[in-house]
Structure 1
Amino acid sequence: MSGEGNGLESAAGELVTLLIMAFALGMDAFSIGLGMGMFKLRMRQIFFIGLTVGFFHILMPIAGMAAGRFISGQFGVFANYAGGFLLIFLGIQMFISALREGDGPLLAPIGPGLLLFALSVSLDSFSVGLSLGIYGARTIVTVMCFGVAAMILTWLGLLIGRKVQGYLGVYSELLGGSVLFAFGLKLLFSI
């Protein structure tokens, strides 16, 4: 009986660890969602953006696990650089869009812009997938935790950003661009 208790405690502890890791990985999606939410987005777009980011947070760790541990060190640094440059690019494009006044963004979080956004916030999941190196049934639980947490946190960030956008008007894009730019710099200089 005590063996079952220890197994259950071990599984619960592992799940809590995965949820904490998923929350940590999803926090950049939340933060960047705050900035992207300052675009004039409809609820349907916000819903789709959250699903896309969640999907990428499932896909990227699986790709990382498939790539294996032997390239973890080298590619993990590359992923951080790529993510940082993507966020800086998106931030600059939001600045330009705000300064152009009303022409609309150069690259909005729809279509190719959505793919860039989802890729930039999920690159760290690829690195985590590389370092986890786990296989079997637990892989499913791990990537599902990552995907669900990222999706929910993205929705929260976008919805809060959307609310702030209503109060700040045109300055919201400048603020959103600043958030993305700052997170891009943070990624580049934390390496």
Structure 2
Amino acid sequence: PNPLGGESASTVLNIKIADSVKALVEACLVAHPSLSGVVTQPSIAPPSTGSGGGPAPTPGSAEDIEEMANKYFQKIYTSEQSLGEVVEMLKRFKTSGNARENDIFACMIHNLFDEYRFFSKYPEKELRITGILFGMLIQHQLVSSITLGIALRYVLEALRKPPGPSTTSNQGKMFRFGM
């Protein structure tokens, strides 16, 4: 809050940004109705103060969704949760009546696809896990329509890379991801 009364400039700016993002998402969904299963309207709330004085993500906020998606990925890569368990969870989240779970699903898929350009820099173990997860998303029909096309394009692109002389070669990493 503004000490002079009324809303602070940053709160007003956050509200304007949230309104702009919502309008953009609505325009995208009108122009491309096939995205409605993948893209959901973000629920953006003004920042709150958490313990220690820093902002705490509001449940359902973009920060909260991103934080939860990252926690699930961390569980995958630290073997706290098996890929099968994560895929089952993603199936539930995709069809859930809970908007927060829908948003976490969409965020995880979006982040995974967004990371593709960095896959060649991933360590071998993490790339193998990511490749298996990618394949399971396709196999269990967790991606469809446009996102399925993108996923298949990424796999084909990886398979066009040279296989490399051995499994320890950086040269064949992307090919092994595609396999």
TM-score by length of 2: 0.29
Structure with a larger share of its residues in helix: 1
TM-score by length of 1: 0.27
Structure with higher Rg: it is: 2
Structure with the bigger RCO (C-alpha within 8 Å, sep 6+) is 1
